[in-house]
Amino acid sequence: MITEPFVGLRPFESAEAAIFFGRERETEILVNLIYSSGAVVVFAPSGMGKSSLLRAGVVPVLREESETIGPVLMLSDWRIDVGTQIRQSVAEQVGQVSTSKETTSLLSLLSNHRMRTRQRPVIILDQFEELLPERRDLAATWEELAPIINASPSPATLVLSIREDYLARLNDLMKRAPGLMSTSFRVEPPSVKALHDAVVGPLGMLQPQFKAEPALVSTVIDDLQRDDVGRLEVPLEPGYFQIVWSRLWEVDRESRECTITLQSYESEGGVDGIVAGFVDRTIDQVLSEDQKQLLYGVVRYIVLPTGAKMAMAVDDLAELLREDDMTDLARADSALLAKLGFRGQDQLGVKRRVIEELLTRLTRADAPVFRRIEYRQHIEFKLLHDVLGHILQEWRHRVRIASGLQLRVQLEQAQQQLTQQEANSQQQVRFRDGLWSEIQKARPGVTSPITGEREAAAEALGVVAIRASGVFPSVRHTAEEALNQLKQDRMSSVRKVAKRAVENLQEFDTMPTVPELPAPSETAYPFRFGLRGALGARRLLFFTQFYGLLSLCVISTFGADLITREVFPTARVLDYSVYRLLSLSLLVVLWTSIYAYDTLNNGVPWTAATWRRLVAPLLRPRRIGIGWFERLSVWPVNFLVPALIGNGFGALTGTFGRLPLGYLVAFWVANFVMWVSFGRAAV
């Protein structure tokens, strides 16, 4: 069942003979030539449909004539030697045992086959031009093929399908086989009727049958034959014809009326729009980014400002092309300019090579943008169709804009990177200075006669050593020296703190990933929490001030209640539950204030990163040695614990009705326990 009526740029295959229309006359001529000749050369410009004519037109007809013709071999993979391919193919078709070049020549192999079977093999060498540029010495190949061409009667028919611009490269073969070109066939552009049949025929083979509006077929043909000034021009490019109809089929294949319409053609932008989309896709798929930059410069010379096409030789393009012809982005890339031949040695030779490689890629059957014309050693390229002139100019304009924007982005990114590097450098300096400052603050404590100050110095130096790890080796070394000194202290408590700091440092070194370093202005928390840090003078002062203020607020609340009852016994007063609610609200506000003040007082900015650093240790308690009660006390919501304890104690003692003494006692005890367990070291 046929589902795709058009094949696009790829050649038709033998299995698609049912939808191959418009080449009936050429098929008949070629079949007759093959019957009557030992060698036929089929040539035409690139994209004219040679392969489709042979595969879907000639081969099916020849294979039906099994009595006198056979086998029919279609060869197009030139990575393997021609003679080897023919031997292997004949062996597969007729079961020939001896296929080695040493035991029999190709001529003898084919002659023996014809004598045994009374059938004449037909060997089609398709896209033969692909063999020529890749082989420097083809003498062995010509020695294999020439005897077959010269033999009379011929044991087989050789069909060479080759691009017209490569015919000159068959000179060496023609010297050995002078009659090679005596039977040749040039594939001409299809006629208007053939193009009409190539549309109507395949659509009629579908189930259900499709059709194209009559005006659409003639419009497409006229638009493809029109030159850049609106005159009808011959020939029409079959490849572009297939591109247009493949696109229209994609648009209207779901049509309920089973019709490809003129409206769809116009909505796609006509020939210009469809071909422009194809050219853009082809350039993106076939060319590298460097080649796109080179094509930008080449288009300036190969397309006139009016959009008309102009044939140019590779040597001329290499001499004309200058660095100023490239985009701003390319001119800013010294490595690219050297790669394209604008810098370095042998600039002209490099430019010739890269330009020829670029344009050759765009002459392939799957990328028909240019046509290659070769006269002996002189190679020229020109656009395949006039419609491509304006399309490539528009593409060049888009590339210029895109390159300018990309260059601007690169410059902005480079500036941002430079600015960031400068900022990072300044930040590193501030970070380093901050660490040295902390070491200087801790130095007096190392030699202090007060045990508590030496312990605090050991903890502070441990933090500095961890923060300097992997960043400032000299800072860490200084901190470690001071810690080693404190490990020899006369007091066991000081030695214990210093030893614990060293263990923390060693544990930090063995971690698989290095934690995020704090900002220079921050003071990191130690990894372990202790009672001594919680009982520092500054922390006890905070405790007394804030909880004293809270106690006054609670007492004032109950005092106002008692005074109101005594002075205004008949006045309507608030229920005690309201006072309790007010006291709890004050508790929440003040506890949050304490937490915020304590955090800010330790030099930690109030950011999302701060919360992550406070919460992250709780997720890995075993690695930092924190107990469950200490982990609970770290959370900001831990004010609920003392509040519940205080209210519960007050309810049990029955003191809520008169004096909140029990409430205050429970409140102070519970919060003091929480404060001690929280235990971050004072700075």
Residue 27 shares a structural domain with residue 174? yes
Residue 547 shares a structural domain with residue 671? yes
Residue 123 shares a structural domain with residue 196? no
pLDDT tens-digit profile of 184-225?
999 998 888 999 999 999 998 988 889 999 899 899 888 887
Q: Is 310 part of any domain?
A: no
Q: What is the mean pLDDT of the chain?
A: 75
Residue 490 shares a structural domain with residue 632? no
CB 67 within 8 A of CB 115: no
pLDDT tens-digit profile of 30-44?
999 999 899 999 999
Could you give the 3-state DSSP secondary structure of residue 162?
strand
Among 531, 552, 578, give the residue marking a domain's end.
531
Buried/exposed 576-595: b ≥16 CB within 10 Å, e otherwise: eeebbeebeebbeebbeebb
Q: Are strands 184-186 and 211-212 parallel, antiparallel or unpaired?
A: unpaired
Residue 242 shares a structural domain with residue 139? no
Residue 32 shares a structural domain with residue 178? yes
pLDDT confidence bin for 235, thresholds 50/70/90? low
Residue 221 shares a structural domain with residue 145? no
DSSP summary character for residue 517: P
pLDDT tens-digit profile of 328-341?
888 888 888 888 88
Q: Is 501 part of any domain?
A: yes
Q: Is 593 part of any domain?
A: yes
Among 238, 268, 298, give the residue marking a domain's end.
268
Among 133, 156, 186, give the residue marking a domain's end.
186
Residue 123 shares a structural domain with residue 229? no
Q: What is the pLDDT of residue 533?
A: 42
pLDDT tens-digit profile of 588-630?
666 566 555 554 444 444 455 554 555 444 444 444 343 443 3
Q: Is 393 part of any domain?
A: no
Q: Which domain holds residue 235?
A: 192-268
Residue 566 shares a structural domain with residue 587? yes
CA distance 60 to 76: 17
Q: What is the pLDDT of residue 676?
A: 52
Between 680 and 585, the more confident residue is 585
The verdict on whether omega for the bond into residue 153 sits within 30 degrees of 0, i.e. cis, is yes
| Tokens 């405790």 belong to residue | 543
Q: Is 371 part of any domain?
A: no
Q: Is 95 part of any domain?
A: yes
Q: Record the tokens describing residue 165, joined without a space.
A: 């611009």
Q: Is 600 part of any domain?
A: yes
Q: What's the structural domain count of the chain?
A: 4
**Cα–Cα nearest to 201, from 21, 27, 58:** 21
Q: Record the tokens describing residue 642, joined without a space.
A: 């003392």
3-state SS track over 228-269: CCCCECCCCCHHHHHHHHHHHHHHHCCCCCCEECHHHHHHCC
Q: Is 416 part of any domain?
A: no
What's the predicted TM-score (pTM) here? 0.53
Residue 523 shares a structural domain with residue 538? no
pLDDT tens-digit profile of 359-387?
888 888 778 788 887 655 677 888 876 66
CA distance 412 to 427: 22
Residue 290, pLDDT above cutoff 80: yes
Residue 180 shares a structural domain with residue 199? no
